[in-house]
Amino acid sequence: MDSASPSYQGHRYPVEIISHCVGRYFRFPLGFREVEVLMPGRGVLVSYESARRWCTTFGQACVDGLRRRPGPGDEWHLDEVFSEINGERHYLGRAVDQHGNVLDILLRSRRGAKAAKRFMAKLMKEHRVPRALVTDRLRSHGVARRELMRSVEHRSHQGLNHRAENCHQPTRRHERARKGFRSAGAAQRFPAACSGIPPHFRPHHLMAAAVPRAETTLRFAIWDRITGAAAMPTAA
């Protein structure tokens, strides 16, 4: 978490307001107009168009700052869901490791062996080859694995891939709130940001009561440092 804070040069609103809007939008299933309605409660008037520009500009930068760098796990879970964009069906592929960390997201207009090979090749270029690959029963994943990662163990079963399927849920909730994506570019950018920001603010639920409070305080402090709203405290 040592990346530089985003540059807010040229933006009229202060950093605290921009980071608050970006954080609320990606943490909760809200549309830009809902963010506009919420902000007067903080004593600030912000248009939904300003919120949209801020989320587009700073969303991925915040995710890059929050992302930890210990390296991905050695077990990949691949899954895809369809999304209607301007009346056309697209397929959103997602790869996560066994710990739920998102490795990559790729939006495709078609599904099949060729698209699966392109996604796997992209993953192999960015990460080391895994020990095992877990997918559902979609055959194109098996074809791509045999051609690109023949030595990797492949487990294909509908009931084994809940890890990747659960990672689609935040994107689905936001998609319903904003009544679908308007373009393929937005459908590619949003899940990439949505996959990194909500988990940062979500401490593990199996903790003593005082632990999540301290952990939440620390995570908000980290968010302020990443976005440039405040300096990172020396102690949690």
Interval 171-199 mean pLDDT: 74
Own/partner pairs for 100-107, CB < 8 Å, 24+ apart?
A: 100/163, 100/166, 100/167, 100/199, 101/72, 101/73, 102/167, 102/195, 102/196, 103/72, 103/76, 103/127, 105/188, 105/191, 105/192, 105/195, 106/188, 107/83, 107/184, 107/187, 107/188
Contact 120, 149 (CB under 8 A): yes
Interval 27-34 mean pLDDT: 84
Residue 47 has pLDDT above 80, yes or no: yes
Lowest-pLDDT range, 9-18, 101-110, 121-130, 167-176?
167-176
Over its C-alpha atoms, the chain yields an Rg (Å, rounded) of 19
Q: What pLDDT is recorded for position 2?
A: 46
Q: What pLDDT is recorded for position 60?
A: 79
Q: What pLDDT is recorded for position 207?
A: 60
Residue 235 has pLDDT above 50, yes or no: no
Domains of the chain: 15-67+197-227 (no CATH), 75-185 (3.30.420.10)
What digits encode the pLDDT tens for the residues 82-129? 888 877 888 888 888 887 778 888 888 888 889 899 999 998 888 888
Contact 187, 89 (CB under 8 A): no
pTM for this entry: 0.67
Q: What is d(CA 47, CA 37) in angstroms, rounded to the nearest whole number?
A: 9
- Looking at per-residue pLDDT, the higher value among 205 and 187 belongs to 187
Interval 212-223 mean pLDDT: 80
Band the pLDDT of 159: cuts 50, 70, 90.
low
Q: Name the residue type at position 28.
A: F
Q: What pLDDT is recorded for position 68?
A: 57
Lowest-pLDDT range, 8-22, 25-39, 91-105, 182-196?
182-196
Mean pLDDT of the chain: 80
Q: What pLDDT is recorded for position 148?
A: 92
Contact 95, 115 (CB under 8 A): no
